[in-house]
A = this chain, B = another copy of it.
């Protein structure tokens, strides 16, 4: 099985792949372009029924392999059981737009913004980067106003898109709110909150180490090794009925109870999704609420969002706190705006400003390494902090999804995407410098 196929299977089983550095072998194969792999061009699932070779079905190795994944990222609920993140029953609060002509002018100006990709000498325009990156949706807010909004591929303005590991930042934000509000002690040990964690390596980690992914826990994602932890995790997480002879853990939480140690807690940042699931369990135990319910109660019902979001679940009904959310582009922009505004939205305070300060200040950079596209970064409360001169920070998903908050430029940028490979190492070089250039462009305008 090829590495990328295995990655995709694992992903579809509900597992978010670690951001990793592309290998030479990966770089050699050239997938279809964004335009050629557009699901509407490919003709997936059109007709009643679609032609046989255009039907996308189970198993996950089919529906979540490129180019099919470009359709499936907008349709995960059609393959998997899910829980709702309810917006409640009230009226949405519309985003603010410039006049149509100003909006069109702004789009043209932004499309023409140029930048130099990482590891390259050739300039690229903003618009070119959207195709280079297999973008499905892009929305930019500047000083609270929508200055750019485009949809591609499977996504439309009333559609939704899988955000994969950006889900972690929902989980981390909810945890950080509970910490600042005093409901959760981030110096507590996991075993003091969840006694049945037993002998798991997580038992002796602090909540903060889980939040910042500095735990010393074994979790191998070597896809060529049939005994790698990723496979055990995938089988545990699958919502399909377990095979009769199955003896492994059932669901995320049983998996977490048998994690072995690797290294020391607190020593180093290691991007391992199981920390997010551990954190999801912690905040559910402490609050008495599922992460979907917490997200609805603390965020979605109070943000004036337009659409319910949803989250995939394992076979015991536990939402995938490390990667399971699907949501609308504009609603994710509302979340970014809430972060930029330090916890206030539509004139209402949703949580203390300290929550955002704790995140945007970043984690311990000395413990952060291994991400060549973010050399000075850190990771805290499940958010990526760039430590650049704009103080930017982000939620990031494995196919190029992001909520990118630039406090200096007063810019929030949301990107939904379906990059063929599950590796931000490929995606960042044409993304991060582009975001910086657009931020500078917006700052130059007023």
Contacts and interface: CB of A to CB of B under 8 A. Distances in A.
Interface string A245-266: 0000001010000000000000
A158 B316 contact: no
A81 B83 contact: no
Given A48-B290, A57-B317, A316-B55, A307 B82 contact: no
Nearest to A62: B241
Contact of A81 (B59, B81, B281, B285): B81
A287 to B, nearest CB: 9
Interface string A54-78: 0111110000000000000001011
Given A91-B92, A240-B241, A80 B78 contact: no
B56 A88 contact: no
Interface string A290-321: 10000000000000001110100101111000
A370 interface: no
B81 A77 contact: yes
Interface string A405-445: 00000000000000000000000000000000000000000
B88 A77 contact: no
A278 B413 CA distance: 46
A79 interface: yes
Given A58-B241, A89-B307, A317-B55, A48 B285 contact: yes
Interface in A165-202: none
A72 to B, nearest CB: 11
Give how many copies assemble into the complex. Answer: 2
Nearest to A254: B49
A288 B48 contact: yes
Q: Is the interface of A mostly helix, strand, loop or mixed?
A: loop
A284 interface: yes
A75 B285 CA distance: 21
A253 B56 CA distance: 16
A317 B56 CA distance: 8
Given A89-B307, A158-B88, A45 B79 contact: no
Q: Most chain-B CB neighbours within 10 Å: which of A48, A284, A285?
A: A48
A24 B251 CA distance: 42
Nearest to A159: B86
Interface in A325-362: none
Contact of A77 (B84, B90, B253): B84
A89 B45 CA distance: 24
Given A78-B317, A91-B91, 9 more contacts: A47-B288, A49-B251, A49-B253, A55-B316, A58-B239, A58-B315, A88-B158, A89-B306, A91-B92
Shortest 8 CB-CB contacts between residues of A and residues of B:
A91-B91, A48-B284, A89-B306, A58-B241, A48-B285, A78-B81, A79-B81, A59-B241
